[in-house]
Amino acid sequence: MNNTEKFEKLEGELNLSFNDKNLLIQAFCHRSYLNEHPDFDLGQNERLEFLGDAVLELVVTEHLFHNYPEKPEGDLTNWRAALVNTKMIASVAKRLGLGKYLLLSNGEKRERGKAKQYMLADTFEALIGAIYLDGGYRDAQKFIKDNLLIELPKIISLELFKDPKSELQEIAQEKVGITPTYEIIEESGPDHDKKFKMGVFLEEKKIGEGEGGSKKEAEEAAAKEALKKKFK
């Protein structure tokens, strides 16, 4: 199956119809692919990603502004951040099966963990940029509403927009007058797929620990555990 046939299949899966098929193919072209395929006559997807990121933020912001008129700016900002972060976008891209269509070098095909997550998120944004260029704002808006904004009710109901580190700091300072600190307990895995275990402490006492693919993720997991065990 050549690229044209392959991406026509993707159009059917995503309910899209591109006038310029090359825009769709380019949205999936990682820069590493060009190193092994110098005869490939399309560019890589980073410029499309740059455009798609801006379109995505505008569509999400507009949706929140019009649909939640009673909410203050702070709440809308937190909801938007929870919708457009790498983890959420990558999970949507994975659900849509975009990973099967990535054009990568043989080395990049073996990537897992955070590296793969970033590739999926970047490709999702590049796809939005391609849709915008090919069909205009309304087409891009529909794609984002159909595939990403459907996650918003879950984000709100489960309070996934809350920053556990900030919440823990505020509660700890109010109740015990101490600012939490974080320390690495364990670090493992190769450089491209590190795993961290972090502990959160009130002075010398550990009140929670958590794991993640970055120190930030592990700190957030530790803060969640501390909130649940110590302050809830």
Per-residue pLDDT of the chain (232 residues; tens, 9 = 90+): 677 789 999 999 999 999 999 999 999 999 999 988 888 889 999 999 999 999 999 999 999 999 999 999 988 988 998 999 988 999 999 999 999 999 998 888 777 666 788 999 999 999 999 999 999 999 999 999 999 999 999 999 988 888 888 888 888 888 889 999 999 999 998 877 789 999 999 999 999 999 998 898 899 999 989 988 877 6
Nearest to 115 by CA among 161, 105, 34, 148: 105
Among the listed residues 49, 53, 111, 220, the single catalytic one is: 53
Q: What is the DSSP string of 64-76?
A: HHHH-TTS-HHHH
> What are φ and ψ of residue 185, in 5° steps?
-95, -40
At what angle are helices 46-67 and 113-135 packed, to 10 degrees? 80
Put simply, whether the predicted model's pTM sits higher than 0.75 gets the answer yes
Classify residue 96 by its DSSP letter. Answer: T
Is residue 53 flagged as an active site residue?
yes
In order of their start, the domains of the chain are 3-157 (1.10.1520.10), 164-230 (3.30.160.20)
213: nearest Cα among 188, 232, 230: 188
Alpha carbons 71 and 81: distance in angstroms, whole number: 15
* Residue in 125, 209, 219, 225 annotated catalytic: 125
39 annotated active-site: no
